Structure 1
Amino acid sequence: MSRICTICARGGSKGVKNKNLKVMLGKPLIAHSILQAKVSGLFDLIAVSSDSPAILQAAKEYGADIVIERPAELATDTAAKLPVIQHCVSEVEKITGFSFGVITDLDATSPLRTIEDLENSVRLLETHEHATNLITGAPSRRSPYFNLVEENSKGFVQLSKELPSAIVRRQDAPKSFDMNASIYVWKRDAFFNNTSIFTPTTILYEMPEERSIDIDSELDFEFVSFLAEKRGNLI
């Protein structure tokens, strides 16, 4: 089955200026995801989508097979993730004439994944008879059934999800996860025929907390840099 890996990296960033090009372990942040995809040997093609010429140039230097210039309407703060990836894959298929059966997207701002995480995620979806797509996440630090609350229209707080019987121990609550924005995998039909990442048959590959930090702030960048340096290499 043919596989494509996309890495979609916008030039603008409010939390961390130029974060996709910010240096970590001697390389721009986006380079680590490109190299992980290459070293895994899973993909027939690796494509990078961006509105930034500097990001596209870095992607070429670190081994992306094709770079796609993202249109302005898909490069705003409010642009949804899935249409950006769909645009990238559609453009690559127009250029190459190939159709890809499995689409994997790596978020450059969540680079602590391992090659094993990537391999396991792709193969878990491919071998699951009924699943249409896969996301990754870590066990949630707060449970919506136990200690995650939300404010109602009257300004009072309540548990986000209530069960018929009260939970007195967090361990007794149904399992919940924090999405880590690291790896997304789709089978082709689900990828092009949906407008949301979530479908009734979405599955999750569990990753540990120490590989699940998504960079949204300077503090996140410091945390990820510390863990990356502790590992010594992100490949």
Structure 2
Amino acid sequence: MKIAVIPARGGSKRIPRKNIRPFCGKPIIAYSIEAARESGLFDEITVSTDDQEIAVVARQLGATTPFMRPKEIADDYTGTAEVVKHAVTWFLAQGKDVSHVCCIYPTAPLIRAHFLREAYDVLAGSDATFSFSVTSYAFPIQRALRLTAAGRVIPFHPEYRMTRSQDLEPAYHDAGQFYWGTAAAFLNGIPMFSERSVGIVLPRYLVQDIDTMEDWEQAEYMFRTITQR
């Protein structure tokens, strides 16, 4: 079976109740659940949470909460991979044969179902262990600048100072939306950021990390602009 795991703990600090805070008319976690359902890929869409209110909202939106996340993996220091591993282990203990897992972040309102499908198809049709969303940097990273204590500018890579932008290699970063992997890869702790992973390139207008209220407002502007086109 294929499962989606949406990690949504209750203790967000910078944006209180972040995972169920209203975003353009609905709890932000709703967009991740809806995209998972629309993809048609999953036998179960599970929200891993330590919070009863989040669990209730998740069930109202069509997800399942078959377990409550233990406190020891619900703090500020627990990584996503550990949360997914716990969920996979739980399903296996119930006698359910999990082959593939997709971790979908709960604060990804710009997520699209067709990218979830593309990422699964790429993973299932290759020898990769993971496939996840990436996007390109908006400016060449080779032109990055360092500021000294006095505010003076020093290039990180002065050798590229005179190189044309179009001649510089494009660079990408994690888009922070979803992470497909084989169940075995999550269980065995295989590193995600390696040559064993495939990057699914998203357009930059669909990518916005949400860690601060400024990020949140930016994401709402982007969402409204996209949905009104």
| Shift in alpha-carbon separation, 1:166–1:201, aligned structure 2, 3 A | farther
Q: Distance in 1 between matches of 2:183 and 2:221?
A: 37
Runs of 4+ that moved beyond 4 A? 148-151, 162-167
| Shift in alpha-carbon separation, 1:13–1:148, aligned structure 2, 3 A | farther
Per-residue deviation, residues 117-168 of structure 1 (Å, max 9, x unmatched): 11111112111x22110121110134333326598xxxx9662xx6987761
| Shift in alpha-carbon separation, 1:150–1:120, aligned structure 2, 3 A | farther
Match of 2:133 in 1: 136
1:27-42 paired onto structure 2 within 5 Å: 27-42=26-41
Q: Distance in 2 between matches of 1:59 and 1:98?
A: 22
Q: Is the 8 A contact 1:6 1:106 kept in 2?
A: yes
Which one-letter code corresponds to 1:64 in the other structure?
A: A
Which one-letter code corresponds to 2:74 in the other structure?
A: A
Q: Distance in 1 between matches of 2:127 and 2:165?
A: 30
Q: Distance in 1 between matches of 2:35 and 2:147?
A: 38
Asked if residue 228 in structure 1 is aligned to residue 223 in structure 2, the reply is yes
Match of 2:163 in 1: 168
Q: CA RMSD in A?
A: 2.4
| Shift in alpha-carbon separation, 1:9–1:167, aligned structure 2, 3 A | farther
Q: Is the 8 A contact 2:144 2:155 kept in 1?
A: no
Q: Distance in 1 between matches of 2:174 and 2:147?
A: 19
Give SS of 1:69's match: coil
Asked if residue 116 in structure 1 is aligned to residue 124 in structure 2, the reply is no
| Shift in alpha-carbon separation, 1:142–1:14, aligned structure 2, 3 A | farther
1:167-186 paired onto structure 2 within 5 Å: 168-186=163-181
Match of 2:84 in 1: 85
Percent identical pairs in the alignment equals 28
Unaligned segments of structure 2, at least 5 residues: none
| Shift in alpha-carbon separation, 1:191–1:164, aligned structure 2, 3 A | farther
Q: So what's the TM-score if we normalise by structure 2?
A: 0.87
Which one-letter code corresponds to 1:147 in the other structure?
A: A
Q: So what's the TM-score if we normalise by structure 1?
A: 0.85
- CA deviation after TM superposition for structure 1 residue 49, in Å: 0.3
| Shift in alpha-carbon separation, 1:203–1:18, aligned structure 2, 3 A | same
Give SS of 2:141's match: coil
Q: Is the 8 A contact 1:60 1:67 kept in 2?
A: no
Q: Distance in 1 between matches of 2:147 and 2:190?
A: 27
Which one-letter code corresponds to 1:220 in the other structure?
A: D
Q: Distance in 1 between matches of 2:127 and 2:200?
A: 15
Instruction: Provide the aligned length of Structure 1 versus Structure 2.
Output: 224
Q: Distance in 1 between matches of 2:78 and 2:145?
A: 28
1:96-107 paired onto structure 2 within 5 Å: 97-107=95-105
Match of 1:43 in 2: 42
Give SS of 1:48's match: strand
Unaligned segments of structure 1, at least 5 residues: none
| Shift in alpha-carbon separation, 1:21–1:94, aligned structure 2, 3 A | same
Match of 1:218 in 2: 213
Q: Distance in 1 between matches of 2:186 and 2:147?
A: 32
Q: Is the 8 A contact 2:84 2:186 kept in 1?
A: no
